[in-house]
């Protein structure tokens, strides 16, 4: 039997790829909660409005992005895909809130040569800053420190910090540069600067977006071909992104996998036949275990191996409050993806997504307010109520977006420990963990958002790799 811990998108993908790769063992998925899908969660309200409590769009590019598109085709839901091209206003118009005003971030080559507040200089000046900056030999550093050193404080403060808030609700002064800018960090280490590295690898990087796609992925009738031809920035699914895990669930069950809900694993003990999992009041023998649960939750299950317990426990996560708010009619004065708020502004929100600018919902404006993350306790309090969170979100929208209307619908979700934090040293820690597992020949594979990326593409691809190694 092959055991999968976690019934989120990564766990369901692991089960799918085990079956696809011809596993002769029965596949069992153990999910601790009462539903599958993990943080991908779409709610349809009584009035028909769709609220996304987690991810809502997926990027189509590079190897992991192409793999997800291929998965969607294999699941026969390609007809539900809705692409947003790079020319769409929500792909071009992204804003930040600084000094009491919304500012549109540069989105074209021409914009690089124009000074736009809150930046004190045209962004092209960052390249000259990089060319003058001395090389610093390091194994890792925070992404804020790296960008400030090489490109200047403006970019670190008004581009990188809010972007990290939007992607992982984290503090850029703690998050590893290898989380989002590993190649840029390596450019400095290998070539001496980002600019020299970009010039040395320009053609290679241009081809890399699609070069790893196989012939099936780029066939003329494939989603990847459509994404390339139509120049998608992101895509989603009609009916909401939760259609993806729900379809995966039906598919793996139809092929013989068993998915158990409310099935908490409390211990894993390795033996000569694989591993024994304690699930509730029963012990289950498995040939291999693919863990897609957060590293912090996996850590205490491995008391047989104190090193793993200690190191996995250091991969922490943050809690995010997500507030979905709907208004009747069009109340937005901006046609954009939304806006982010740099931590230095000390506002109680991380940012706001303008959902219906990307995917309209007849007669409504739908916004999603993100709150908390690294600053959950300091900005929202140690035990905020859903009512207090909603009140703060509405107040911020009224203040920043000048929307005086009362919402016609809303929903507050507190997603506890939902996004892992890849702090400085994360990649070395994960490498040591995997080296330990290999050295001791443990039948344990790691997938999910705690290790190799927090995006939907990342966790699906990590599940595919784990299944291939079973």
Judging by DSSP bridges, how do beta strands 81-85 and 94-98 pair with one another? unpaired
Query: Which residues, 6 or more positions from 273, have their beta carbon under 8 angstroms from its beta carbon?
Result: 285, 287
Cα–Cα distance for residue pair 36/259, rounded to 1 Å: 9
Same domain, yes or no, for 289 and 162?
no
Q: Is the pLDDT reported for residue 56 higher than 60?
A: yes
Same domain, yes or no, for 368 and 390?
yes
Cα–Cα distance for residue pair 327/399, rounded to 1 Å: 16
89 inside domain: no
Judging by DSSP bridges, how do beta strands 258-260 and 27-30 pair with one another? parallel
- The alpha carbon of residue 245 and the mean position of all alpha carbons in its chain are separated, in whole angstroms, by 15
Same domain, yes or no, for 160 and 307?
no
Domain span at residue 301?
2-35+60-75+242-315+423-468
Same domain, yes or no, for 186 and 310?
no
Whole-number pLDDT of residue 210 = 52
For residue range 201-257, what is the model confidence (pLDDT) as tens digits? 876 655 555 555 555 566 767 899 999 999 999 999 999 999 999 999 999 999 999
Same domain, yes or no, for 334 and 187?
no
- Count of domains in the chain? 3
Q: H or E segment at 265? A: strand 265-271
Cα–Cα distance for residue pair 135/131, rounded to 1 Å: 10
Last residue of a domain, one of 205, 230, 259: 205
Same domain, yes or no, for 329 and 414?
yes
Whether this prediction's pTM lies above 0.85 is answered by yes
For residue range 282-294, what is the model confidence (pLDDT) as tens digits? 999 999 999 999 9
Last residue of a domain, one of 383, 405, 420: 420
Same domain, yes or no, for 146 and 170?
yes
Comparing CA positions, the residue from 246, 221, 249, 211 lying closest to residue 70 is 221
For residue range 436-467, what is the model confidence (pLDDT) as tens digits? 999 999 999 999 999 999 999 999 999 999 99
Cα–Cα distance for residue pair 370/453, rounded to 1 Å: 20
Same domain, yes or no, for 363 and 273?
no
Last residue of a domain, one of 150, 181, 205: 205
CATH number of the domain at 376, please: 3.90.660.20
Classified as helix, coil or strand, 307 is: helix
């Amino acid at each position: 039997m092959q055991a999968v811990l976690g019934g989120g998108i990564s766990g369901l993908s692991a089960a799918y790829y085990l079956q696809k790769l011809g596993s002769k063992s029965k596949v069992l998925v153990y999910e601790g909660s009462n539903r599958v899908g993990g943080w991908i969660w779409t709610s349809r309200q009584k009035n028909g409005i769709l609220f996304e409590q987690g991810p809502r769009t997926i990027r189509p590019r590079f190897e992991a992005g192409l793999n997800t598109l291929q998965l969607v085709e294999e699941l026969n839901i390609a007809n539900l895909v809705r692409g947003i091209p790079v020319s769409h206003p929500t792909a071009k118009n992204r804003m930040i809130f600084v000094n009491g005003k919304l500012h549109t971030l540069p989105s074209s080559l021409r914009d690089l040569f124009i000074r736009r507040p809150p930046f004190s200089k045209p962004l092209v000046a960052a390249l000259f800053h990089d060319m003058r900056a001395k090389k610093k030999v390091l194994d890792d550093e925070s992404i804020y420190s790296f960008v400030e050193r090489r490109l200047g404080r403006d970019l670190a403060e008004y581009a990188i910090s809010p972007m990290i808030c939007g992607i992982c609700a984290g503090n850029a002064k703690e998050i590893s540069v290898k989380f989002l800018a590993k190649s840029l960090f390596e450019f400095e280490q290998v070539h001496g600067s980002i600019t020299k590295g970009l010039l040395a690898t320009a053609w290679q990087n241009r081809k890399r977006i699609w070069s790893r796609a196989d012939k099936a992925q780029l066939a003329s009738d494939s989603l990847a071909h459509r994404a390339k031809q139509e120049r998608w920035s992101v895509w989603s699914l009609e009916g909401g992104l939760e259609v993806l895990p729900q379809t995966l669930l039906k598919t793996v069950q139809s092929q013989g996998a068993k998915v158990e809900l409310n099935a908490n694993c409390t211990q894993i003990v390795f033996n000569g036949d694989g591993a024994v999992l304690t699930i509730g009041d029963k012990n289950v023998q498995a040939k291999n275990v693919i863990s897609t649960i957060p590293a912090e939750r996996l850590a205490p299950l491995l008391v047989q191996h104190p090193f793993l317990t200690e190191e996995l426990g250091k991969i922490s996560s943050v809690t995010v409050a997500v507030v979905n708010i709907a208004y009747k009619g069009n109340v937005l004065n901006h046609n954009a993806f939304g806006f982010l708020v740099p931590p230095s502004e000390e506002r109680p929100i991380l940012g706001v997504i303008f959902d219906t600018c990307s995917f309209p919902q007849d007669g409504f404006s739908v916004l999603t307010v993100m709150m908390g993350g690294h600053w959950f306790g300091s900005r929202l309090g140690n035990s905020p109520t859903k009512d207090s969170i909603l009140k703060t979100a509405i107040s911020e929208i009224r203040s920043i977006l000048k929307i005086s209307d009362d919402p016609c619908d809303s929903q507050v979700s507190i997603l506890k420990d939902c996004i892992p934090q890849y702090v400085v040293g994360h990649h070395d820690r994960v490498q040591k963990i995997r080296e330990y597992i290999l050295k001791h020949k443990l039948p344990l594979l790691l997938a999910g958002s705690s290790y190799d990326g927090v995006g939907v593409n990342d966790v699906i691809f990590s599940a595919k790799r784990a299944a291939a190694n079973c």
